[in-house]
Chains A and B, each alone.
Chain A
C-alpha cells in the first residue's frame, strides 16, 4: 500500500496551492475556488488518516461529509455576496472593492 505520508504531501500541496490562489487571484470567484481547494485538501487528509489510523472509527469520514456540506453553504453565500457587489460596481475584482482602507 502507498504510505500515509504521500497522501499528506499531496494534501499539503493542494492546501498551499489553494492558499496561494486566495492570496494572489484578483477575481473574487477565483478566490472562492482557492478556498474550495483548501477545503478539499483537508478532505484528503481526513480520509487518509481515517483509512490508515482508525478505520473502525467513522469520525474521519463523517467529518469529510460535513465539510462537503459546509463548503456548499459557503459557496452559496459567497456567490450571492459577489453577485450583489457586481450589480452595484460592475466588477468582481477584489482590489476594486476598497472604499475603506484595507
Chain B
C-alpha cells in the first residue's frame, strides 16, 4: 500500500496538458535557443515562446470545464477555476513577450534565456492554479518566484535592476519560508497535505477544539503572511515599489499581473476552498480567518491608494496602484470566508483579475513606450503632451487609467462591481464602503496622468514605440473596452466556474 506504483491511466495525464506542455516547451525552448537560434536573431526565440504559449492556450480550451479533472492521484486538479486562471496567465505571458521583444534590444540585454525564464514563471503560475496539495502549491510558488528574481536583476550591470533583484530575492525567499512553515503547521493539525482532505478534516477539528485548532489557525496565518508577500498586501508590501521601479519594465508588467494571479490562485484554493468551514465557535457563519483578511484588505486599500498620490515616477505609481488593486481582490477573498458565498466571491476575484490583467499590462506598455533607452524617462512629467504627438497611445493610456479607477464602460468597472457586490452579500458593509471611498481617492492620481497627457503643453516622445509594443497596447486596450462594454462575455465564462465541486466529494 505504502509504495504501490500507480498505473499510468490513474494519473489522468490528459488534464495536466496545458501546464505540462508549457513546462515541457520551456525545456525545448532553452535547448533550441542554445543550439539553433543564431546570436543576432534572438527574436526567433520570442516567436518560439509565443508558439509555446499558443499551444498551451489551445490545450487549455480543450480541458476547460471537463468533469474528470483530477490528476496525479488528486494532487493536481484542472477544474474550471484552473481553466479561467490559465487564460489570464497565458494572456499575461503573451502580452509580456510582445512588450519584451524590442525592449530587450533597446536595453542591450537581448539574451534568449529571458523568454525561457518568463515562460518558466508562467508555468509555475499555471501549476499554482491547479495545485490541490500543499506540496504542489509550494513547488509551484518557487517555480513562479525563482525565475522572477532572475528576471528582476536581468538588466545587469544596471545598478537599479541588480538592487531590485536582490531585494526581491531576499524578501521573496523570506516569505516562502513563512509560507512553508504555515503549510507544515496545517499538515500537523490535519495529518494530510491534500487540500480536499484538509477540507474534510477541518469540520471535525473545530468540534474537538484544543491544540489542533490552534495549530490550524497559526498555519493559516503564516500561509497568509507568505502569500501576502507574493501578492503585495499591506503590511507585506515594502518591497513592491523598489522592485517594480528597478526591474526592466516588461518584467515589471509581467510580474505585477502574473505573480498576483498566481498568489491569489493559491490563496483562494487554500482559504476559500479548503478552509471555508473553519470556524472557531458553533453556529458562526464566517470562517475564522475572515476578519484578519478584511482588516488587511482595508489597510491595503487605504495605504496603497494614499501613497500612490505622492509618487512622481510612473513605475512607482503603478506599483502602489498594484498594491491597492491587490486590496480589491483581497476584498473578494475575504468575502469568500462567509459560508455559502465561496462561488460568488471566487468568480468576482477571477473577473477582477482578468480586467486588471488587460488594464495593467496596457498601462505598463504605454509607460514602456515613453521610457528612454537608458531606463530614464519614467517620470510623470515625461507624459506631458503625449496626446498631441501620439494621440493613439494617449487615448489608450487614458482608457487604462479610467479602467484602473473603475469608470463604467471599462473592464475595471465590471471587476469592481462584482467585487463590491460579493463583499456586500457577505455582510462586510464597512469594507465595501472603504473600497468605494478609496476608489474615489484613486481617481486623483490616475486622472493626473490624463491631465498631463491632454491638458498640458509639452513634447512627450515615445522612443520605445515599436510595432510590437503598439500591438500589445491595442490588444490590452481592446480587452479592457470589450470587457467593459460587453461584460456578459466574461461573466458567462466565469459562470462556468464552480469551485465547491472540486472539493466536496
A residues near B, CB below 8 A? Answer: 8, 15, 18-19, 22, 28, 31-32, 35, 38-39, 41-42, 45-46, 49, 53-54, 56-60, 62-63, 66-67, 70, 73-74, 77-78, 80-82, 84-85, 87-89, 94, 97-102
Q: Which of B1, B149, B173, B187 contacts A63 (CB 8 A)?
A: B187
Residue of B nearest to A47 (CB): B184
Q: Which of B162, B164, B238 contacts A84 (CB 8 A)?
A: B162
B347 to chain A, nearest CB (A): 31
A81 to B156: give the CA distance in the assembly, Å.
10
Are the CB atoms of A81 and B185 closer together than 8 Å? no
Residues on the B chain within 8 Å of A84, using CB: 153, 156-157, 162
Residue of A nearest to B160 (CB): A99
Q: Interface centre among B163, B173, B174, B178, by most A CB within 10 Å?
A: B173
Residue of A nearest to B158 (CB): A88
Are the CB atoms of B245 and A100 closer together than 8 Å? yes
B159 at the interface (CB under 8 A from A): yes
Q: Mark B108-152, 1 if CB is under 8 A from A, else 0.
A: 000000000000000000000000011100110010001001100
Q: Which of A15, A60, A78, A80 contacts B187 (CB 8 A)?
A: A60
A23 to B165: give the CA distance in the assembly, Å.
18
Which residues of B170-194 are within 8 A (CB) of A? 170, 173-174, 176-178, 180-181, 183-185, 187-188, 191-194
B409 at the interface (CB under 8 A from A): no
Residue of B nearest to A45 (CB): B184
A28 to chain B, nearest CB (A): 7
Q: Mark B22-35, 1 if CB is under 8 A from A, else 0.
A: 00000000000000
A62 to B134: give the CA distance in the assembly, Å.
11
Q: Interface centre among A49, A54, A102, by most B CB within 10 Å?
A: A49
Residues on the A chain within 8 Å of B149, using CB: 77-78, 81
Are the CB atoms of B242 and A100 closer together than 8 Å? yes
Are the CB atoms of B139 and A46 closer together than 8 Å? no
A36 to B16: give the CA distance in the assembly, Å.
32
Which residues of B316-360 are within 8 A (CB) of A? none
A31 to B464: give the CA distance in the assembly, Å.
38
Q: Which of A67, A80, A100 contacts B163 (CB 8 A)?
A: A100
A59 to B135: give the CA distance in the assembly, Å.
8
Residue of A nearest to B239 (CB): A102
Residues on the B chain within 8 Å of A18, using CB: 177
Interface size on B, residues (CB 8 A): 45
Residues on the B chain within 8 Å of A42, using CB: 177, 180-181, 184
A87 to B156: give the CA distance in the assembly, Å.
10
Q: Which of A15, A60, A100 contacts B181 (CB 8 A)?
A: A15
A69 to chain B, nearest CB (A): 8
Are the CB atoms of A67 and B173 closer together than 8 Å? no
A81 to B180: give the CA distance in the assembly, Å.
23
User: What are 12 contact pairs spanning A and B, CB under 8 A?
Assistant: A15-B181, A35-B174, A35-B177, A42-B177, A45-B181, A63-B184, A67-B138, A74-B146, A77-B150, A85-B166, A97-B163, A100-B241
A38 to chain B, nearest CB (A): 4
A99 to B191: give the CA distance in the assembly, Å.
47
Are the CB atoms of B184 and A31 closer together than 8 Å? no
A45 to B242: give the CA distance in the assembly, Å.
34
A22-B174 in contact given A81-B165, A99-B159, A100-B242 (Cβ < 8 Å)? yes
Are the CB atoms of A87 and B157 closer together than 8 Å? yes
B484 at the interface (CB under 8 A from A): no
A46 to B183: give the CA distance in the assembly, Å.
9
B161 to chain A, nearest CB (A): 10
Residues on the A chain within 8 Å of B169, using CB: 77-78, 81
B2 at the interface (CB under 8 A from A): yes
- Given contact pairs A38-B178, A60-B187, A85-B162, a sample of 15 additional A-B residue pairs in the complex whose CB atoms are under 8 Å apart: A8-B188, A32-B173, A49-B184, A54-B192, A56-B2, A63-B193, A66-B135, A66-B139, A74-B176, A77-B150, A80-B150, A84-B153, A97-B166, A99-B159, A100-B245
